[in-house]
Amino acid sequence: MPEPTLEGGPDRRIALVTGASSGIGEATARRLAREPGIELVLVARREERLSSLAESLAVPATCLALDLTDADAPERALEHLSARHDRLDLLVNNAGASWRASFADGGYENVRRTMELNFDSVVRLTEALLPLLRASAPSAIVNVSSTAGRVARAGAGAYSASKFALAGWSDALYAEERAHGVHVGLVLPGFVATEGFPAAELRERALTRWVVSTPERAAEAILDAGLRRTPERYVPRPYGLIAALRAIAPGLVRRVLAGGAAEVMTTSTGADAADLREAGKQSNGERA
Ligand SMILES: NC(=O)c1ccc[n+]([C@@H]2O[C@H](COP(=O)([O-])OP(=O)(O)OC[C@H]3O[C@@H](n4cnc5c(N)ncnc54)[C@H](OP(=O)(O)O)[C@@H]3O)[C@@H](O)[C@H]2O)c1
């Protein structure tokens, strides 16, 4: 018997999207708002961004401004849902970031802060909201991993560790929650031009521009994995071939990715730029 999908479910469906203030999360909120009966809960740190997004949508949307790594973040999300919405049909765990550094330079601290946001905060939020998802079944969770959660590159080891962890955990959660009517889908984007991952190095060159996708395509994959219960989706789909090749010919893929030509794949990120701005402010403060 086919699994029930969320399409054609109850008249009112509540979807919570983390990282809704920009990029893939914002595009997902906009795309979900075109679905019948959807009400949105938008989560991220930048409240003004969330409010203006909510105002621009034609469906009911509430905002929850919080840092997902805060100790009380899961509890606050549950309180918000219980007070304003009485159910949860779709949880999109999308918020994430990457701070580029080799292990020798970034060390454990870079791994720790990356895991804290990209893995631990997802697990903690899911733990708090799982009873509500079960009570609202058929419901779904979509975890946004990355192609870097299947194939690792130099300078992005901490990021890959967090996204590999998320992919593995998602498979186990899928198997555990199936009997409870909570589907767990996985989305693995490749390069998608966003504020956090501008991919400027790739977009600048005609030779590599074509590998960069759009937040709207990632949003469509999130809907596939959530509302239509697809097990997993690469964005764009051909990135799945790289993951398959890594499984079949690990030695070959490792050698190619260790070569100089692969350096262009380790693009600088919005999180790196934010760190540089912060360091600049501190050194200006010290000089003042
Ligand atoms: N773009 C790509 O190439 C790509 C590829 C593979 C996977 N991904 C994954 O896709 C997801 C979305 O990334 P994106 O490309 O859309 O990047 P983005 O534009 O930087 O969006 C990241 C979102 O996460 C939120 N966020 C970051 N830290 C947070 C925190 N501590 N607490 C709450 N919210 C936080 C940000 O909002 P605030 O700053 O307002 O908090 C923002 O809304 C991430 O998980 C990323 O790893 C992206």
The pTM assigned to this predicted structure is 0.94
Please write down the long-range contacts of 169-176, taking CB distance under 8 Å and 24 or more positions apart.
169/119, 169/123, 169/143, 170/143, 170/145, 173/126, 173/141, 174/231
- What is the mean pLDDT of the segment spanning 14-35? 98
Q: Tokens 């009997």 correspond to what residue?
A: 179
pLDDT of 1 reads: 43
Nearest atom of ligand 1 to the alpha carbon of 193: 1
Whether 23 lines ligand 1, by a CB cut-off of 6 Å, is: yes
For residue 50, how far is its CA from the centre of ligand 1 (angstroms)?
A: 14
Per-residue pLDDT band at 285 (split at 50, 70, 90): confident
What are the tens digits of pLDDT across the range 243-280?
Answer: 999 999 999 999 999 987 677 777 889 999 998 888 88
Question: 126 pLDDT exceeds 60?
Answer: yes
Q: Indicate if ligand 1 lies below 6 Å from the C-beta of 21.
A: yes
Per-residue pLDDT band for 205 (boundaries 50, 70, 90) equals confident
Per-residue pLDDT band for 288 (boundaries 50, 70, 90) equals low
Is the CB–ligand 1 distance for residue 189 below 6 Å? Answer: yes
Ligand 1 centre distance from Cα of residue 33 (Å):
19
CATH class for the domain made up of 6-287: alpha beta
pLDDT level of residue 242 (50, 70, 90 thresholds) = very high
CA gap 279, 277 in Å, rounded:
5
Structure confidence by residue, pLDDT tens digits, 68-111: 999 999 999 999 999 999 899 999 999 999 999 999 999 999 99
Give me the pLDDT at residue 192, please. Answer: 95
* Ligand 1 center to 287 CA (angstroms): 33
Mutate to test the pocket of ligand 1, among 194, 234, 268 (most ligand atoms within 8 A of CB): 194
Ligand 1: distance of its center to the CA of 190 in Å?
A: 14
Instruction: State the DSSP string of 85-154.
Output: -S--SEEEE---------HHHHHHHHHHHHHIIIIIHHHHHHHHHHHHHHHT-SEEEEEE--GGGTS--T
Residue identifier of the C-alpha nearest atom 46 of ligand 1? 96
Is the pLDDT at 40 greater than 70? The verdict is yes
Give the model's pLDDT for residue 201.
Answer: 87
CB distance 213 to ligand 1 below 6 Å:
no
How far is CA 245 from each of CA 190, 231, 254, 262, rounded to the nearest angstrom? Answer: 15, 20, 11, 16
- Smallest CA separation from ligand 1 atom 42, residue: 19
Which band of pLDDT confidence, cut at 50, 70 and 90, is reported for residue 7?
low
Q: Is 158 in the pocket of ligand 1 (CB under 6 A)?
A: no
pLDDT of residue 21: 98
Q: What is the mean predicted confidence (pLDDT) over 224-233?
A: 96
Could you report the per-residue pLDDT of 48-57, keeping only the tens digit for each?
Answer: 999 999 999 9
| Mean residue pLDDT across the chain | 93
What pLDDT, in 10s, does the model give residues 169-203?
A: 999 999 999 999 999 999 999 999 999 998 888 89
Q: Whose CA is nearest to atom 45 of ligand 1?
A: 96
Least confident of 11-15, 126-130, 205-209, 234-238: 205-209
**Average pLDDT for residues 152-158, to the nearest whole number?**
95
What are the residue ranges spanned by the domains of the chain? 6-287
